[in-house]
Amino acid sequence: MTRPIDSVLALGDLIVNFIVLAAYYVGVIFGSVASIAPSIVADDFNFDTIAVKDASLNVWIAKSDTEQRNGLSFFEMHQLESRNIDGMLFVYEDSSVANFWMRGMQFDLDFVWIKSGEVVKIDENILSPANNNGDTMTISSDPYEVGAVLELPAGQVDTLDIKVGDSVEF
C-alpha cells in the first residue's frame, strides 16, 4: 500500500534530481561560454621588445597555457595601438609543430614561425572570423617544428619586409 508521504518523497526526489541536472547543464553551457572569453586581460601579459631583421617590435609575450590558448583572441586593434603593441610572441619550452586557430579574433593576422632565432615560415593575411563569414581558420607551422611564433596584425610582414631566413632576437 502506498502512503501519501511516499508520493511526496518521490516527487521531492524528482525535483531535486531535476534541479541538480539543470544546474549541471547550466554550468556546462555557461562554463563553455566563459571558456571562450579571455580569462586574462591585456595588462596581465608580459611585455618585451624583440628584434626582427632590422626592426624593433614591442610585443606581449605568451608563455603560460592560458596566455597561449587565448593569444590575441577577443582583443581589438585599438587595444594594441593604445598600448604601442606590435603583436604577440608565443614562446615554447620545446620545439614542436605549432597549431593556431582564429577563434575570437577581431582582426586578420600574419604569422611568423621561428626556430632557433630564424624565420622558417610565414603565413600572411590569415582571415579572422569577422572577415571570413564567421568561419574559424586553423593555421600550422607544419612541416616545421618551431620554438616561437610571432603574431602580427595582417600586413605587417609585408610592411616590415620580413622574409624566411631573417633573424629574430628575443
pLDDT above 50 (res 122): yes
Asked which of 76-80, 109-113, 146-150 is least confident by mean pLDDT, the reply is 76-80
Interval 143-153 mean pLDDT:
97
> Is pLDDT of 101 > 70?
yes
Mean of pLDDT over the chain:
80
3-class DSSP assignment, residue 22: helix
Across 69-83, average pLDDT: 81
What pLDDT shows up at residue 23? 43
- Distance between CA atoms of 54 and 52, rounded to whole angstroms? 6
Q: How confident is the model at residue 71 (pLDDT cuts 50, 70, 90)?
A: confident
pTM value > 0.85: no
- CA dihedral of 136, 148, 152, 156, whole degrees rounded to 10: -130
pLDDT digits (tens, 9 = 90+) for 9-63: 455 555 544 554 444 444 444 443 333 444 445 556 688 999 999 899 999 999 8
pLDDT of residue 11: 53
Using the Cα atoms of residue 20, residue 21, residue 23 and residue 28 in order, give the sign of their dihedral.
Answer: positive
Q: Residue 29 has what pLDDT? A: 43
Q: What is the C-alpha separation between 53 and 56, in angstroms, rounded?
A: 8
Q: What is the CA radius of gyration of the chain?
A: 23
C-alpha cell recorded at residue 61: 609575450
Contacts of 94 by beta carbon, 8 Å cutoff, 6+ apart: 147
